[in-house]
Every structure is written in C-alpha cells, then in structure tokens.
Amino acid sequence: MQIWPAIDLRGGNCVRLQQGDYGRETVFGDDPASMARHWVDQGGECLHLVDLDGARDGSLINEQAIRNILAAVSVPCELGGGIRDEQAIQRLLDLGLTRLVLGTKALKEPEWFALMAEKYPRKLVLGIDARNGFVATDGWLETSEIQATTLAQQFSELPIDAIVYTDIARDGMLNGPNIPAMQEMKQAVSCPIVASGGVSCRQDVVNLANAGLDACIVGRALYDDKVQLTDLVAIGKGAQKSSS
C-alpha cells in the first residue's frame, strides 16, 4: 500500500480544512514547493494535491503553486479541485501532472466523464467524496442522493487509474478512517481504491493496509506530527510484501 502525502492549496498557501469547512482552515506554510520536497525526502511515493479554491469556484486558481511543486519534485503528482472541462484536463497534463482527480463533473455529467476517461486512459481518477455514504459535490458544499458505491460501480469499468474515496466526516479530524466504508468500496469495484480522510496514527495505516486498500492519503496527521511519513511508508511496503 502506497502512502500519499496531501498538499491542499488555498491562496497559494499549504493549508488543511476540517471536514471540508472553508471556515475552519489551518495554514501550514506559504511555500508548497518546499513542503513537497520535504515529503518526498521523507519517502512520499506520490503527492496528492488539491486546489481548494478551484474545488469551490470551478476553475484552476493555484496554478503557480502547482508549477512550483512540479519543478521541485520528481515523484508522480496528482491534482484534484476545479477540473470541469477538457481544456483544463489538457492544460494540467501538459504541466506535468501524472493524474487528475475529477468528482463533481463526473457526477453531474457522467457521459462527459466517460468520454474523457476513454480519451485520456489511466490519466483520470474518480474522486468520490461521501457524507454518510452519499456523494458530496462542489467542494463538499452539496450532498447528492447517490450512494458512493453506486457511483463507483457506474464508472469502475472505464480506463480510470483509481478511485480516491474520501469520508468527509473523518477528513482533517484525526479520529481514524472509516474502515467499513473503505472495505465496502473495495469490495464493490475492481479498480484500485485510495483511502482518504481520518488517518491519525500508525495503527490507522496498518488497518487500511490490512483491509486491502491500494494507497492512502495522509494529511493533517503528518502536519501535526502525529505520525512520521518514513514509518508509514515502511508499513505500506510491509503490506505489499505480505500480500505478494
């Protein structure tokens, strides 16, 4: 299981939100590229970038910060937030991003998402953000009536690279991931599942690895020094060895 440090961008800064609430923001630094280098030096295998401004406003806001990160590190980087048209997809891939995470647009225009997935195979990731099992959209400001597993099954046969599954109630709260929800998602589809939200200690990562998750995104626990990335990466590599 791979460990992906999260870098959430807002106003050019590296921040974290609690439960996706834009009013509950903590700023962790004004140099995202330096933060990216730090996590790669600690063993980060992929960086999960989120343009929080873009997620809410529907357009790419933090492009300069993203460019700086890509210039600073050589590991794969994926980005989510505000990617709502093909022009944005092409522009971001041209910048050097490895994968793009789309959520709101996939839910609202599934035919368009399917077309993009076929046109850019293995370059798109379906981002499913759920509140009480139902899909949330528009930077988590709206909750739909579609169950997360139903949406995942709808798209799982497309040539997407993975599904990033976020439990909003756990995100940024340091109270542990929703293991049953993650297991349910893993069992519902055949494509790789990346767990996001709630990791607070090394045991949480052990539990996710034991549940068969392919990767997990860790944010606030790293920034608050609740866990050490080198330790988590070692746990993930151990899980890979035991399953191979």
> Read out DSSP for 194-244?
EEES---SHHHHHHHHHTT-SEEEE-HHHHTTSS-HHHHHHHHHHHHHHH-
State the catalytic residues: 8, 129
First to last CA, the chain: 11
pLDDT score recorded for residue 173: 59
Highest CATH level, class, for 2-243: alpha beta
Mean pLDDT by 10 residues, the chain (244 residues): 96 84 86 98 97 84 95 98 93 97 90 98 95 75 82 95 88 77 94 93 95 95 95 89 53
Q: What is the dihedral of CA 43, 230, 34, 71, to 10 degrees?
A: 10
**Half-sphere exposure of residue 66, counting CA atoms within 13 Å on the CB side?**
29
CB 194, CB 165: distance < 8 Å: yes
Q: Is 9 helix (H, G, I), strand (E, B) or coil?
A: strand
CB 227, CB 37: distance < 8 Å: no
Which residues neighbour 167 within 8 Å (Cβ) at sequence distance 6 or greater?
A: 130, 177, 178, 181, 182, 196, 197, 198
Residue 104 DSSP symbol: H
Residues in the chain: 244
